[in-house]
Amino acid sequence: MQLKASELCEILDGQLEGNANAVIERVSKIEEGDHASLSFLANPKYESHIYDTDSAIVLVSENFQPEKELKTTLIRVKDPYSAFTLILSKFFDAVLHKKGIEQPSFIDETAKVGNDIYVGAFAYVGVNASIGDNVKIYPNAYVGDNAIIGDNTVLYAGVRVYSGCVVGSNCIIHSGTVIGSDGFGFAPQKDGSYKKIPQTGNVVIEDHVEIGANCSIDRATMGSTLIKRGVKLDNLIQIAHNVEIGENTVIAAQTGISGSTKLGKQNVVGGQVGFAGHIVIADGSQFGAQSGILGSIKEPYKGWMGSPAGELKEHLKAQAVFRNLPKLDKQVAELRREIAQIVDTLNNKETNS
């Protein structure tokens, strides 16, 4: 894919300074650019690179004032990072622009298939499944019976969408993720064994959701495990049966959410956070990495950290004290010795008087 500086300027509604015919074929970091690269400068600490970069074109903010002469072409935009992200998506879409049905693959004759789809080799689409327009199903992916995949959604290689599950439009699910595996439901028996509880529900994923690699989202025991619109999940996340994740929530890797827990909208969850089951989390809650959340949180838009989790400010204060514990322990030992000396002195005075 090639773009001229003049074309970029039009796409980004920017201001061009330099060679309007400069051509880019790829995107690069500003310090690694070459004669065919597009780069951007958003963070001032990288400004030194713009004076010796080999990138053909660099996106800069509207108020950028160079301190030295530049050899690259500039395009001034309101937000260089957002503009660069837009161009990245265009290059990415060009790379992933696939259509057609590869063989060998299997699409059941009862399945409903939209226009302009891509189905990779060894993919499987089951009975009465519904595949929307412009869907991409990469090799070795599985779409079970009665599952629904919305328009413009991408299932990368090895994704499994079990029977009856629903994936909305404009979603991305990365390799190795399983949608609709059985929830962890077992009833203890008198003899100490466990009897499996049938998991009869499904998983519903709304539009504009992205799910990383090797995640597991369990189907509900009854009803639906629900991932709402705009949610972004990192790699290696476990979401148990009947969980609900609110709109535009982001969750980092290795987080585990126990059954029937409900997260509000716009939550931000760090890595390796653990949520107990059957709790409710308020909108806008933020959790530091490795936090353990054992109970419901009712106050919205507050930060939490620690295990068990406490309010972020209080946790940081406690950590400051914790770091000083060796010093405090030493001071307490010294105070004990001083007190013992004072007591001995007083006892000696009483004995001699």
pLDDT at residue 37 in the model: 94
Q: How open is the CA angle 152-204-164, to the nearest 5 degrees?
A: 95
pLDDT at residue 353 in the model: 66
Q: What is the pLDDT of residues 220-273, one digit of tens each?
A: 999 999 999 999 999 999 999 999 999 999 999 999 999 999 999 999 999 999
pLDDT at residue 95 in the model: 59
Q: Which residues are catalytic?
A: 241
Closest CA to 299 of 311, 313, 317: 311
- Looking at the structure, give the CATH architecture of the domain made up of residues 3-95: 3-Layer(aba) Sandwich (3.40)
Q: What is the pTM of this model?
A: 0.81
pLDDT at residue 100 in the model: 95
Q: Where are the domains of the chain?
A: 3-95, 100-313, 326-352
Residues 6+ away with beta carbon under 8 Å from 129:
108, 111, 112, 143, 144, 145, 146, 147, 148, 149
Residues of the chain under the 50 pLDDT cut: none
Q: Which element (helix H / strand E) includes 37? A: strand 37-40
Residues 6+ away with beta carbon under 8 Å from 340:
none
Angle at which helix 80-95 crosses helix 5-12, to 10 degrees, equals 110
pLDDT at residue 96 in the model: 67
In terms of C-beta density within 10 A (0-12 exposed, 13-18 middle, 19 or more buried), how is residue 102 classed? Answer: middle
Query: Residue 77: CA atoms inside 13 Å, Cβ hemisphere, count?
Result: 26
d(CA 300, CA 277): 19
Q: What is the pLDDT of residues 124-149, one digit of tens each?
A: 999 999 999 999 999 999 999 999 99
CATH number for 100-313: choose from 3.20.20.150, 2.160.10.10, 3.30.2130.10, 3.40.50.300: 2.160.10.10
d(CA 54, CA 116): 39
